[in-house]
Amino acid sequence: MINRITPHQITTVFSLLEREHKPTMLEELGHYTPFQMLVMTLLSARAKDSTTIPIVREMFKHYPAPADFVKLPQEQLEKMIYKIGFFRAKAKHVKELSKILIEKFESIVPDTFEELTSLPGVGRKTANCILAYTFQKPAIAVDIHVHRIANRLGWLKTIKPEETEEELKKMIPREEWINVNRLFVGHGQTICLPRNPKCGICPILKYCEFGKRRKDKELD
Ligand code: SF4
């Protein structure tokens, strides 16, 4: 059974995570333009930040705007990003969305979920990332870290990321939505690792169902 989580418990967890927070890729590169943030978020799907960051830094030095990507031959773009998983499909999406941004949006990245998800290669997670990180609008981007940690904490019991997003939106105060991805991604990359979470040094162990069960087993 899932315990009732109070807004106070949630804000306590967030403030504990905030103390140890290391910037995520989208915070580290948060000074880039909305277009560049959109492209890097799309490219980073199922790729390591350590692979994506140097590639996008170099790429945007030479190709900063949608018009540059429209002109850029697909093969050349693929060559630049080949270390990133699914690079062919991603290169195709970047070129297509650049063209659509020019033709339909005057080269300006839209700031609504519906318009963002109308762009090629932009799904729920990417759209919510752009809303939260770039436009500071209330949105919860559920990636593997957010999904895993919310379930481990015992805040919910979900299978699909869309269910996690829906449940989190019901329980988390709206003003905190913007912090969910950044705090959980940071925590998931450093302490609450997918395979061997470092519960022993976790600042939110006291609030985590999975961590407490694990600790109890060790004491048995
Ligand atoms: S106690 Fe363990 S499982 Fe729970 S959030 Fe911390 S690291 Fe993750």
User: Rounded CA gap, 213 and 64, in Å?
Assistant: 49
Mutate to test the pocket of ligand 1, among 205, 207, 212, 214 (most ligand atoms within 8 A of CB): 205
Q: Is residue 107 over pLDDT 80?
A: yes
* 198 in contact with ligand 1, CB cutoff 6 A: yes
Q: Is residue 220 over pLDDT 90?
A: no
User: Rounded CA gap, 119 and 46, in Å?
Assistant: 19
102 with 76, same domain: the answer is yes
Residue by residue, DSSP assigns 155-178 as S---SSHHHHHHHHHHHS-GGGHH
Task: Determine the distance separating the centroid of ligand 1 and the alpha carbon of 203, expressed in angstroms.
Answer: 8
Banded model confidence at residue 3, pLDDT cuts 50, 70, 90: low
Mutate to test the pocket of ligand 1, among 144, 190, 191, 195 (most ligand atoms within 8 A of CB): 191
Domain final residue pick, 134, 155, 174: 134
pTM, entire model: 0.93
Residue written as token pair 């939505």: 177
User: Rounded CA gap, 100 and 119, in Å?
Assistant: 7
Question: What integer pLDDT is reported at residue 218 of this predicted model?
Answer: 82
Domain final residue pick, 93, 108, 134: 134
Residues 199 and 214: beta-carbon distance below 8 Å: yes
- Angle formed by the axes of helices 34-44 and 87-105, to 10°? 150
- Does a structural domain hold residue 150? yes
Banded model confidence at residue 104, pLDDT cuts 50, 70, 90: very high
- Does a structural domain hold residue 56? yes
Domain span including residue 36: 25-134
Task: Determine the distance separating the centroid of ligand 1 and the alpha carbon of 182, expressed in angstroms.
Answer: 16
Residues 148 and 211: beta-carbon distance below 8 Å: no
Residues 120 and 69: beta-carbon distance below 8 Å: no
* 146 in contact with ligand 1, CB cutoff 6 A: no
